[in-house]
Amino acid sequence: MSSDGIVPGETVIEAVGLGKAYAIFKRPQDRLKQMLVRGRRRYYDEYWALRGVDLTVRRGETVGIIGRNGSGKSTFLQLVCGTLTPTSGRVTVNGRIAALLELGAGFNPEFTGRENVYLAASVLGLSTAQIDERFQAIAEFAGIGDFIQHPVKLYSSGMYARLAFAVAAHVDADILIVDEILSVGDAAFTQKCMRFIRAFKERGTLFFVSHDTGQVVNLCDRVAWLDRGTLREVGPAKDVCHRYLADLYGTRDDAAGFRIGGSRREGPDQPVTDARAELLKASEHRNAIEIFDFDESGPWFGERGASITGVALLDAGGGRPAALEGGEEVVLAVTCRAERDLFRPIVGFYVKDRLGQTLFGDNTHLTYQLDPISVPAGASFTARFRFQMPYLPSGEFAVTVALAEGTQADHVQHHWIDDALFFKVHASHVVRGLVGIPMLDIAIDAGTP
């Protein structure tokens, strides 16, 4: 690979000045008028979803496409697949493309899953005999059971994605296009797809669209960043994702407060204070939280390549009080030990109420996605989540903690402990809803007569 991330070799996709414009009619009747005047007058505005895109992709490359919502990613991929025709420029493709697009894989909704497998695989160039041979493997990969005999219009979006992926995985494609489809599957299926994608990378060309830049960096050699329909940058995955994220967060790369790989803190450190905070503290509604000790014996699962050894809810100064308060700044500290070398550890937590409803939670993935950390075997490390505890209704709460390795979509779960830490809220002014949020001001204005 060269310094700009380009893999040398035969060109499989070449887009030159590629563009797609849509006609936007202000009123429905304008569309009719336009048909009648046959191009002699224009009753529409032109909207360029994609404009002037030049991109060359070589055999064996893995190229990520990133960009904000509506930046033209799907339009570009549909032009490459030939499901859309360009308004300007051209795109040439040399090889068999299997596309997994966010909105449909070209299945006929009235046909059964089985019929669609035959249809889609034959469109992709397989003979009936080849499909007969592979059908069982496709059905097993999809794992949708008897649903394969039912019309796909009855499928959930997850089932649809499973079948689409199963077909694409078995048609000997040279080029695989994966557009956000992984976001609809469950975790186990996503992992299966990621294993397939990784194996596919060894032999084919991959186009990969995801809003998860960590996953893009993990998988792709090069990244193309689309911005309002134009190609803003193409280059090595990590560099381009870095600048994209900086742009997304509205800060320059080197701006204070934006450090990819470290913790990111913006704005003042002051928590948002409820206008009645002092009043609440002094009242019978004082949101006192009693904290119990870390319970190592809670139900757990995981491969134990690393372990969670401690969970504590601390005050803002890192002290370990017996009680905290809703609305206050707190730190949840999760201490872990690597039993073997770890690459990209992710530590996360959920807070659940006594009915098991998740109130909130978070993990370290986003913070470290572009500059992953490694931990050598035998070393201990602590993830700290500093946040403002919401006001909670009275009752008992449990914190579930997890330690994984990989990315959000593709990871090994090392140690997941349900109910690792309990806490109890003794009184509250929150009478409705799962949590109370700080009210910055509450007032009744005098009405005008």
Residue 408 engages ligand ATP in binding (rule: CB under 6 A): no
Task: Report d(CA 205, CA 303) in Å as an integer.
Answer: 33
Interacting span for ligand ATP (CB under 6 A) from 71-79, 238-246, 375-383, 384-392: 71-79
Smallest gap from residue 48 Cβ to ligand ATP (A): 8
Q: Which of 8, 9, 70, 82 is the binder for ligand ATP (CB under 6 A)?
A: 70
Strands (E), 108-192: 175-179
Residue 316 CA to its chain's centroid (Å): 30
Query: Residue 54 — φ and ψ, nearest 5°?
Result: -110, 125
- Side-chain half-sphere exposure of 395, counting CA atoms within 13 A: 16
Q: Which of 1, 8, 22, 31 is the binder for ligand ATP (CB under 6 A)?
A: 22
Q: Which of 67, 86, 406, 436 is the binder for ligand ATP (CB under 6 A)?
A: 67
| Residue written as token pair 């035959």 | 118
Q: Which of 2, 3, 69, 85 is the binder for ligand ATP (CB under 6 A)?
A: 69
Beta bridge partners of 386: 331
Interacting span for ligand ATP (CB under 6 A) from 31-39, 52-60, 68-76, 320-328: 68-76
Beta bridge partners of 239: none
Residue 49 engages ligand ATP in binding (rule: CB under 6 A): yes
Each residue 176-205 as x (binds ligand ATP by CB under 6 A) or -, in order, gives: ------------------------------
Each residue 367-396 as x (binds ligand ATP by CB under 6 A) or -, in order, gives: ------------------------------
205-209 and 62-66 as β-strands: parallel, antiparallel, unpaired?
A: parallel
Smallest gap from residue 414 Cβ to ligand ATP (A): 32
Tell me which amino acid residue 85 is.
T
Quote the tokens at residue 11.
Answer: 């060109």
Q: Which of 75, 307, 364, 408 is the binder for ligand ATP (CB under 6 A)?
A: 75
Tell me which amino acid residue 144 is.
I
User: Residue 184 or residue 277: which is nearer to ligand ATP going by CB?
Assistant: 184
Quote the tokens at residue 415.
Answer: 């140690």
Residue 86 engages ligand ATP in binding (rule: CB under 6 A): no
At how many degrees (to 10) do helices 157-168 and 128-142 cross?
140
Strands (E), 210-316: 222-227, 230-236, 288-291, 300-301, 306-315
Q: Which of 73, 222, 238, 285 is the binder for ligand ATP (CB under 6 A)?
A: 73
Residue 74 engages ligand ATP in binding (rule: CB under 6 A): yes
Query: By the criterion CB under 6 A, which residues form the site for ligand ATP?
Result: 22, 47, 49, 67, 69-75
